[in-house]
Amino acid sequence: MKQRGRRWDFSPGKRGRTILYMSLGLLLAIGVLGPVLWMFMTSIMRSVDLTAKPLKLIPETVTFERFRQVFLSDNGSDPAYVFRIALINSFIIAAAVTLLSLIVGCLSAYSFAHVRFRGKNGLMLTILFTYMLPPAALIIPLYRIYNQFGWLDKRGPLIILYLSFIVPFIIWVMQDFFGSISKSFEEAAQVDGATRLQTLFYIFMPIARPGAIATGILAFLMSWDEFFYSLIFTSSLSAKTMPVAIAEFNGKFTIDYGMISVAGILGSLIPVSITVIFQKYIVMGMTAGGVKE
């Protein structure tokens, strides 16, 4: 069989490999998308169908009442209202952490990559050491400090806390991007009279932009999904984040599977949307590190 001069190979060996690859791809798709599909089905099923025995994989009736409650409920004790406020808190905190960590991290990473100063290697190792410390080892001293200054249950101090482990990550990643950019760019800028800040903003940042965007997305996801610190340092709606609100759907005697599924779907929309929008930069940031010498 031919089509436009191209020969199609339908030999038994080729056909067998094609069937094998398609089967493996189908199994992988089912394994990856299956839980997501089931989460969506759970979110639109009635509570009586979720506890029915045997379990109905395809419900007789569907309802979007839980989604409506999340967006329209104004009852302070309603779990849907609590989740909506926590979702807003998570977005504000994650956006602020991403912006601040990129500013501080890129400035520091450029300094480590292209500025000579005494103790640079030791300071870099210290920063990496603080990033690698387990949160459980820091929780007691941090809690005592926050309690002494009255910083508990506030979004601002929680942003500072997130910056303490996200900024080292930004520095660690971005200093490699800046270090891979040819020094000839910096020398040419200095000849033209540019300061180091001007060299960073007008020369280095445009080249390292894919890496900065990819790193910023990772920083957003790290703060968006953070649970441990938020659980310990927040207790009310003024600062409670989305992961903590989802955990509170597990009651002492009952578990609201429907609201957990709704929260999972809504909580994943923002990160997925950001990833899709900046997909090109993520690929470029992971595969390129600037102009190498």
Please report the pLDDT score of residue 291 as a whole number: 43
Contact 97, 168 (CB under 8 A): no
**pLDDT number for residue 221:** 92
Closest Cα partner for 41 from 25, 22, 16, 61? 61
Residue ranges in the chain modelled with pLDDT below 50: 1-3, 289-293
Note the pLDDT tens digit of each residue in 186-237: 888 888 888 888 888 888 888 888 888 889 999 999 999 999 999 999 988 8
208-220, pLDDT tens digit by residue? Answer: 888 888 899 999 9
The domain spans of the chain are: 2-63, 66-287
Distance CA 96, CA 89 (A): 11
Please give the structure tokens belonging to residue 133. Answer: 């410390």
CB within 8 Å of 114: residues ≥ 6 apart? 178, 179, 183, 186
> How close are the terminal C-alpha atoms of the chain, in Å?
51
CATH H-level superfamily of 66-287: MetI-like (1.10.3720.10)
pLDDT digits over 64-79, tens only?
A: 888 998 888 887 778 8
- What's the CA gap between 180 and 272, in Å, rounded? 30
Which pTM value belongs to this model?
Answer: 0.84
